[in-house]
Structure 1
């Protein structure tokens, strides 16, 4: 499907077919540092509209010229802007500092520090940070073609096999770079995989990323529920590299099949999904032709035992990913779409009304740190009775 950059309706919004996925109001990405945060959702700060940012009477902000409002969340607003010195398009995320204190403030500054240290072609580039007494502005590379989520849900029929391979290979290369630098992302999911104008992967959202030491195991649980690994749902200490690899397997399944392998079915208790994850109980849809090499690679990644999972080098050497040219313009013209709807850049979460078809659902964030309640499934696994916050 092709969209022209100038294809706007009279209201200034892009004229596109209505998405079958209903979007919720943007929510701040949340990591739980203690029980209070896990159980009590903080009061949202006042929304930052364009008129509330510094220099509100000018279209220029420092060396940046504001071009378009992209979206507003509870804690931030994002604008498309142009760097007047380089001519590059950038995304400027303005964060209200009024209620941004304590662990939340520390987390965002750690994220900025980490992003500054990253330099890889498949990771969103940190450009600049501007701070006033009331606003923190993070300037990042602008990814014109939006999220991998949108490509899978809204354009799956036009998602060519070679483009699937290219995107997944670039994502693995980005994660390999992180691990080589002793960094684990800890929230790999299709919403955090962005695409530039040539559909090159740009991994984003390092709010939950952490540095690790060789052979270090973690106990603090965080992330998105559908992508969590068996060792996390069974409340074991985990290797963050292995949980990242598990999440890559979930993403690969979604790229190949068109929906997630594990999801919370309507009307069922959330523990049922965790049980399926703990048992690695997933299936490939019947009646759908799926490349046998792709199936083999998914099966090699989604292993219960972390040490049994394919390594990143083994994934890159797998037959399904051979003879793939990465970081070049997509040959599939139908996939080169422009996604400039007025929505929240990098902060969107989705609730899918047509759930049985797409099997995507809004991700919840959870903490296992201080939970005491457990439920036994078939005498085999002890799973936490999660305290969840849905935004």
Structure 2
């Protein structure tokens, strides 16, 4: 066993005919509250996680999302057959065991996370549980892969309700707690902001419901003004004022040659 989540256990296995070929097997015990979706070519409905992975695996796929190969269903369980990433650890583990992660390393990691998230959004998939334990990092190249779509659900034109969110509580967007409704893309941006914060601070910005909704976001004076600005714009508690998913990579933290918008305003004055 190499991992354990809220909805299953993950094992590393090798092919019976080619023992050098390793794969990851996610074992999921069936439960009454499992969510199923209809999909063309399959009857009866399939586990939502399988449907969402099939949607993401249609060519062209994204290298920053773990590959899904196949699945087996029986009366009591599902077995998901996936890519096994060599020389990897969770981002949570990488953060805890690193002395300090600098902004260049953080930029490399978060750029790949943004790529994975944008791909999910384009395929109309809401991951629903993005946090550092659901992100793999290979070392020393810092290649990132988003994993565990056990909370994933299709994106439609309708708002999501609070009961649709089944992710880690301390990553919960505040609009879910306040208004009990949310859109996928602003929730994605909030998660990106929290992951970036955790990478550079080694800790989460919030520790309970009250702080998620109202607590100040601690600033690290060692971080650049651009980085602090990006974090604050991703973690704006108003989803309407929050940075848009398509705008994140245009931020001046990713483009050092771009002018600082605050300085530009001061110059005009």
Q: Deviations over 1:101-146 (max 9, x none)?
A: 4223748821012112212111010022234555532111112311
Residue 44 of structure 1 corresponds to: none
TM-score of the aligned structures, taking structure 2 as reference length: 0.79
| Greater Rg over alpha carbons, structure | 1
Cα deviation for residue 259 of structure 1 reads: 1.1
Residue 104 of structure 1 corresponds to: 34
Residue 263 of structure 2 corresponds to: none
Shift of the 192–276 alpha-carbon distance from structure 1 to 2, 3 Å rule, reads same
Shift of the 153–244 alpha-carbon distance from structure 1 to 2, 3 Å rule, reads same
Residue 170 of structure 1 corresponds to: 112
Q: Deviations over 1:155-198 (max 9, x none)?
A: 143x3432211110110111111112221111110111112454
How many residue pairs end up in the alignment? 239
Shift of the 245–86 alpha-carbon distance from structure 1 to 2, 3 Å rule, reads farther
**1:156, 1:258 within 8 Å by CA — same for their partners in 2?**
no
**2:189, 2:244 within 8 Å by CA — same for their partners in 1?**
yes
1:117 to 41, 55, 66: 55
Residue 240 of structure 1 corresponds to: 184
Q: Which moved more, 1:84-93 or 1:227-236?
A: 84-93
Cα deviation for residue 302 of structure 1 reads: 0.8
Shift of the 208–105 alpha-carbon distance from structure 1 to 2, 3 Å rule, reads closer
Q: Aligned-pair RMSD on alpha carbons?
A: 2.6
Distance in 2 of aligned mates of 1:105 and 1:89: 29
Greater relative contact order, per chain length (Cα 8 Å cut-off, separation 6+)? 1
**1:124, 1:202 within 8 Å by CA — same for their partners in 2?**
yes
1:189 to 127, 131, 134: 131
Q: Deviations over 1:24-65 (max 9, x none)?
A: xx76415xxxxxxxxxxxxxxxxxxxxxxxxxxxxxxxxxxx
Q: Does 1:214 align with 2:157?
A: yes
Distance in 1 of aligned mates of 2:16 and 2:93: 27
Q: Map of 1:280-319 to 2, 5 A cutoff?
A: 280-285=215-220, 289-319=222-252
Distance in 1 of aligned mates of 2:186 and 2:25: 33
Shift of the 292–183 alpha-carbon distance from structure 1 to 2, 3 Å rule, reads same
**2:14, 2:20 within 8 Å by CA — same for their partners in 1?**
no
1:92 to 12, 18, 25: 25
Residue 276 of structure 1 corresponds to: 211
Cα deviation for residue 245 of structure 1 reads: 1.2
**1:124, 1:140 within 8 Å by CA — same for their partners in 2?**
yes
Residue 18 of structure 1 corresponds to: none
Distance in 2 of aligned mates of 1:307 and 1:94: 39
2:203 to 252, 255, 259: 259
Shift of the 77–314 alpha-carbon distance from structure 1 to 2, 3 Å rule, reads closer
TM-score of the aligned structures, taking structure 1 as reference length: 0.56
Secondary structure at 2:206 match in 1: coil
**1:142, 1:196 within 8 Å by CA — same for their partners in 2?**
no
Residue 348 of structure 1 corresponds to: none
Distance in 2 of aligned mates of 1:27 and 1:141: 16
Distance in 1 of aligned mates of 2:16 and 2:246: 38
The structure with more helix, counted as a fraction of residues: 2
Distance in 1 of aligned mates of 2:183 and 2:76: 38
**1:195, 1:202 within 8 Å by CA — same for their partners in 2?**
yes
Residue 267 of structure 2 corresponds to: none
**1:245, 1:311 within 8 Å by CA — same for their partners in 2?**
yes
Distance in 2 of aligned mates of 1:140 and 1:114: 14
Q: Map of 1:324-343 to 2, 5 A cutoff?
A: none
The unaligned stretches of length 5 or more in structure 1 are 1-25, 31-74, 264-272, 324-391
Distance in 2 of aligned mates of 1:154 and 1:135: 35
**1:257, 1:290 within 8 Å by CA — same for their partners in 2?**
no
2:171 to 227, 245, 253: 227
The structure with more strand, counted as a fraction of residues: 2
Q: Deviations over 1:59-88 (max 9, x none)?
A: xxxxxxxxxxxxxxxx53512425856964
